[in-house]
Each structure stands twice: as structure tokens, then as C-alpha cells.
Chain A
Amino acid sequence: MNLLMSPANKQTEDLVNVQVDGHWIQVKRGTRMIEACKQASAEVPHYCYHPKLSSPGNCRMCLVEMGMPPRPAPGQEAELDNDGHAKISWMPRPVIACANTVTEGMGIRTQSTLAKECREGVMEFLLINHPLDCPICDQAGECTLQEYSVEHGKGESRFLENKVKKPKNVDIGPRIRLDDERCVLCSRCVRFTQEIVDDDVLGFVDRGSHNVLTIHPDKPLANNYSLNTVDICPVGALTSNDFRFKMRVWFMRETKSICNGCARGCNILISSRENKIYRQTPRENNEVNSSWMCDSGRLNYHLLESDARLTDPMMKKGKSHETVDWPQAIRSTAEGLLKYKGDEVAIIASARMTNEELYLVRVLADTLETKNVDTLKCHGEGDDYLNHKDRRPNTNGAKAILKLRSPGSRVNSIKKGIESGSIKALFVYGENIESKGFDDRVLSKLKFLVSSHILANPTAKLSDIVLPGASYAEKRGSMINATGRLQLLNKAIEPPGNSRDDWEILQDLNRAMDGKDFIYELADLFSEMASIVPVLKGLTLSGIGEKGASVIETGETIPLLEREAQRVNQGLIVG
């Protein structure tokens, strides 16, 4: 009987039968053994393997027991087991699971004595020269050496020698600290800099047990993606200067959100504790940012801690601003804007606002019957990896919701309107418009200027009323990124002082101006918005999901993802 005709699942062109820990499963042809095990819920511990990087197979932690059905002698048939599969002949020598692909009839054992001995052996080897740094090491709590040591280690040491001494606390770049004694030489960081960001500055020097990761002194690790190496370092060898000694990871709460540094909309995790953000790390989204994010986006949360943070609503009394309470601020804003009709009012919103907030601005604009609505266009330098040249995260949202064909194109006419006197009131939300030429001379021509910001800036200084809003980490809402993907921000911390979430501020304004009802659930607001914004039709807030959903076909591609797809096609990475 031909093996292919066995009662067990037929081998089709695309799938092969593999036995993992006694259970037969079907996986796609060309799947790596380690991924096949994952699909069978058998996690194989590893250090050097990473789905987005090439597999050097050097840590040896993923050693498993492997078997193949022996080729039957000519004229003989394969011996079958109870499931109808060919009986597996187990190899005495273990193989690594990360770089080998499965073949038809292969058997893998991840829990056999041999596999366990291999892991225990590798763990012991990694620990004999590893420094006892856990109490001071930032990686504690998310360190695979710690985790695997508990699961797969010996539990006691029989190493009586002196440990190898290597450089500690090495400065290899402006944002990264290296500790060579902790390094397990998995080479993930070297591969990342070589393969993903084309900045080949890391390498191993010396030989054998004295192998040391280092840089050439003239070329530090300073590219804008350097902190990703800290993410992928399985131990505390590469650590972030920004996070050094700040907080233990198990004390922090992780909030899934979106970076607001540019229109890419990289998926992130905001780690915070007691209303303070300690770090941001990328979240994997293979439609947006793969497993990476840029350093500038990662560290931009520091803006929220600036001394210039606005914390109370303020109204101008004479030459200076006085703190007022919210009811007063809202009342005065509404009164001030309602004095002017239609196109005497202009609104400059921001593509940093969420869709829901932009929708509320649209409602406001309708109430005021003005067509002078725009957001600022802020372009900078993108790069060939993830950074988008559009420095605002929700330009596509602004386009869709405020019905702007070209955001930023009306700003000049608004300026001219103010200068000529036809525009008498200006409502600025979330932008310092001084950079677009709205200086003291222009803005003093206005009869009424009200703005909302999170940081004090020249526009706020010139405003009659200043409303302190919330930053991206302090609100929940949706945004549409440059490639047309609708994604969710979530609230990690509370806005400081008396500053408020923007969707509440805008709803209060709408109610004060038009008696509109306050919607208490963001989901309901989303649904109301979705009913009139074509690209959002039929969607719900809860339906967006952690990885977002594509709502606009922009035709834009993401260079880093394209290259990754190429490498997946070449079989170099898993993806």
C-alpha cells in the first residue's frame, strides 16, 4: 500500500502530516518545525530564533527529538501504526527546530527525556558565565533566561570556577546600554541591524567563550530603530537608557494603543503605573509595523510630562490668563463663537485628533454654519522603513470626516480672511498654528480666539480662552493611518490636573451651543459617526479589534513590510 493512500489524512499538495508529541496534525509544506510545534500548542523554548529574522541556529535551546519513517526496503511496505501513519524511527541525535522544515511523516517530540536533557544542558551552559544581576537588571520579569531557567533548568549550580569577565555598562549608542556579561550571543541584535535597518554596526569580537558583542568606537548604534534591539534581546544585555532602573515590569499596566508620531500608526503597548508612562514598546501588526517601531515614536511620551503641560482652563483677563472652571470656560467659548455667523468663524482642527473628536468638530462646524474648516498639513522627513513623511496620525480620518480633499490647503485662505477681517472668530484645536504664519500680528486681528492644546504654546498665549485637552495616551478613540487602516487608541493614563478628554470637551461645547445630547458611550458616538461617514459605514467600535481593520484603499505600500514579504518568499524568514 502506497504511503499516500493510507487511511490517515492524505498528503495534499500544500499540507503535510506531522506528529507532535504523539498527536498528528497537518501543517503547510515548508513550515519550520518550531512553528509546527506552536500550531500543535507545544511551545519550544528558544533564544536566537525570531520569526522576522534569519535563523542561525546557534543557541541550541530549541533542540528536539526528531524521527522519520524509515524508507522501506524495495518490495516491502512501510510499517504502519494505529493511526495509519508510517511508524516513526526516532533519531538518536537531536535537531534544532527553528531552521528545519517539516516533511511528510515527520515526528517531533518536545517532552521526551532527550529533549528535556538538551534544554537542561543548554540552560546550564548559559548560566555558568551569566552574572547574578537579576536584582539590578531591567530585564527581570520579562527575561527568557529567567523563565526558561524555572521551566527547563537544573535548579542548582555545580559550577565551581570563576566566571568569564566581560565589559559591563558599555555605552554603544545614545539610547542603548550594553552589558556583555549578560549577553548570550544569540545574535538577534546583529541580525536585526543587518537585515531590517541596514545599519551594520554591531558585531562579535574575540573568540570562543570570550566572544563579546560590540561596536566600532567610531560608529555607534544610533539609528532611529536602535531600541528595537532592546525589545528582541532575550536577556538584559541590551537595555534602554530611557527605561534604565525606572520601574519593574511586573508593576506596570500595559495598554494597547497607537503611536501618534506620524501617519504610520505603529501599534504600541504603553506601559504605565499610577498615571505615569514608563515606556512604550511595539505591538506586532503585520499590516502596519511588523514587530518594530522607531525610536522617536517610542520616546515621544516624554512630551506629556513637559513642564509646559496645560492643566486648567484659562481665560484672558487683561494681559494675562486666569484659571477658570470648566462650566465657565465652556459657556464663554460657546457664547463667544455664537456671536458670529457662518463664514465669520473658522475652525482649524488637527489631524492629531481622533475620528470621534473630528466628528464632534464637524457637528460644531455645522452648528456654526461655517465652511472654513481645515486641519494643518505637517510633513517632515519620512524614511525607507516605517517613518511616514506625514507627521500627523489621522490625516485620513480628517479627510474622511471633515470632508477635506486636501488637508491644509485652506489654511492660507483662513489666514487671509483673518487679516482682511472677514473672519472674526477662530477656534483652534490641538495645533500651534504659529508655525504656519499665524503670529501675533495676524491673530490680534481676531475678535475672538479660543484654542485647545496640551502644551503651552504661542497660539495658546494669544487665545482668549484656552482649553486643556488630553494627549494620545490619555484618550480612547479611533484613527485612520496612512495606509487606510482604522485602528484604536486606548487610554493608558488620566490627563493631568483639570485637563479633560477631548471628546468630552467637544460634547460639552456642542451641548452648550446647540443643546445636543451628551453621548456617554464612545461606542455610541462611533456608531453615530459611522452612519454618516461613508468609509466607516457598518462598522462598530468594538468590531475594530486589536489589530485594526482596513477601511480605505490608499494604494500606499510600506517599504519595510514589502522587504519582509520578499524575505518570506525567499524562505529566509518565517514572517
Chain B
Amino acid sequence: MPLLHLLQQEYGHINEESVNWVAEKLDIEPINVLELVTFYPGFRQTAPGKYHIRVCRTLSCAMAGCYETMEKFCEVAGIDRSNVSHHNPIAVSEDGKFSIEFAECLASCGTGPVCLIGDEFHESVKADNVAEIIGKYD
């Protein structure tokens, strides 16, 4: 896993070449690497945007209005989520600047709705705050 994290940090996602590279380096089968990469949502197999947004959708954040937050994010960043499905959870904006997906409980339920943009954590992200937050990323 640490190798996969490093590769994702470097390239933004895990591609086929990375899978084969890890398998060779660790002297394991490529299928063993694929097993991990596809299990964890934290390993992305498709390239995200420049800034990747993860909005928590679990109970407390949902109660605090995360669905509205998500809609607002999509509106402000210009992302179309209509093709999102289980096998395709990430939606990327037209200009490639932002990508977005739902995430499960991010362990900050008292300050919901919360989201991660890249490695930066944002709390109390109501629909009204979204534009301001997006503005910080260029």
C-alpha cells in the first residue's frame, strides 16, 4: 500500500503501468496489486481533476445538508455528475480543474457537512460557503 500511495501522489491515480511496476518490484503477481487497487476507494484508477473534492455523505453530514453542498459544488465548478455510477464514481469538470466524488464518513460529524479537497480538510461546508471555497483553488 505505501508504494501505491506514493505512485498516486506522483501521478494522481494508479494506472496499468503502475500496477505492473509494483508487481514487479515486490515480486508478486499483477492480479494481487489489482485486488488492492480496486478494493480501496482511496486508490483512484481514473485521472482526477487538478483538485479532487470528496464530499462526505454519511448520516450526520447528510442530516446537515451534504447533498445540497454536492449540488452546489457541481454547479460552481462546472461538473456534470449524470454519468456517475458504482464503477465510475468520479466526475471531472470540463476544464479538468476539479473532480468530485462522494466519500463515506470522514470522522468530523460534529462540523458537517465536511469535505476534503486534495489533502485539505474543510468543515461546515454549507451550500452558501461553496463558492468561496472553490474560489481559493486556482
State yes or no: do A and B touch (Cβ within 8 Å): yes
In residues 198-227 of chain A, which contact B (Cβ within 8 Å)?
200-207, 210, 214-216, 218-219
Contact of A207 with B31 in the complex, beta carbons under 8 Å: no
Specify which of B19, B20, B31, B38 is in contact with A206 (CB 8 Å cutoff).
Answer: B38
Which B residue's beta carbon lies closest to that of A206? B38
Give B90 Cβ to nearest chain A Cβ, in Å: 15
Give Cα distance in the complex from A214 to B35, angstroms: 9
Contact of B31 with A202 in the complex, beta carbons under 8 Å: yes
B32 near A: Cβ within 8 Å? yes
Majority-rule SS of B interface residues:
helix
Give B28 Cβ to nearest chain A Cβ, in Å: 8
Which B residue's beta carbon lies closest to that of A210? B86
- Which residues of the other chain, A, contact B20 by a CB distance below 8 angstroms? 218
Give Cα distance in the complex from A216 to B35, angstroms: 10
In residues 25-73 of chain B, which contact A (Cβ within 8 Å)?
28-32, 34-35, 38-39
Which A residue's beta carbon lies closest to that of B37? A205
Pair count A-B, CB < 8 A: 37
Contact of B29 with A205 in the complex, beta carbons under 8 Å: no
- Which residues of the other chain, A, contact B30 by a CB distance below 8 angstroms? 216, 218-219
Give B15 Cβ to nearest chain A Cβ, in Å: 14
Give B46 Cβ to nearest chain A Cβ, in Å: 14
Count of interface residues, chain A, beta-carbon cutoff 8 Å: 14
Which B residue's beta carbon lies closest to that of A218? B30
Give Cα distance in the complex from A206 to B35, angstroms: 7
Contact of A214 with B31 in the complex, beta carbons under 8 Å: yes
In residues 170-220 of chain A, which contact B (Cβ within 8 Å)?
200-207, 210, 214-216, 218-219
Count of interface residues, chain B, beta-carbon cutoff 8 Å: 13
Specify which of B19, B29, B32, B39 is in contact with A207 (CB 8 Å cutoff).
Answer: B39
Contact of A216 with B86 in the complex, beta carbons under 8 Å: no
Give Cα distance in the complex from A202 to B30, angstroms: 10
Contact of A207 with B34 in the complex, beta carbons under 8 Å: no
- Which residues of the other chain, A, contact B86 by a CB distance below 8 angstroms? 210
Contact of B34 with A205 in the complex, beta carbons under 8 Å: yes
Contact of B39 with A203 in the complex, beta carbons under 8 Å: no
- Which residues of the other chain, B, contact A204 by a CB distance below 8 angstroms? 35
In residues 224-257 of chain A, which contact B (Cβ within 8 Å)?
none
Give B86 Cβ to nearest chain A Cβ, in Å: 6
- Which residues of the other chain, A, contact B87 by a CB distance below 8 angstroms? 206, 210
Contact of A205 with B32 in the complex, beta carbons under 8 Å: no
Give B36 Cβ to nearest chain A Cβ, in Å: 9
Which A residue's beta carbon lies closest to that of B23? A216
Give Cα distance in the complex from A203 to B34, angstroms: 8
Give Cα distance in the complex from A214 to B32, angstroms: 11
Give A217 Cβ to nearest chain B Cβ, in Å: 9
Give B45 Cβ to nearest chain A Cβ, in Å: 10
Interface residues of B (CB under 8 A from A): 19-20, 28-32, 34-35, 38-39, 86-87
**23 CB-based A-B contacts, threshold 8 Å:** A201-B29, A202-B31, A203-B29, A203-B31, A203-B32, A203-B35, A205-B34, A205-B35, A205-B38, A206-B39, A206-B87, A207-B39, A210-B87, A214-B31, A214-B34, A216-B19, A216-B29, A216-B31, A216-B34, A218-B20, A219-B29, A219-B30, A219-B31
Which 3 pairs of residues, A with B, have the shortest CB-CB distance? A205-B38, A216-B30, A203-B31
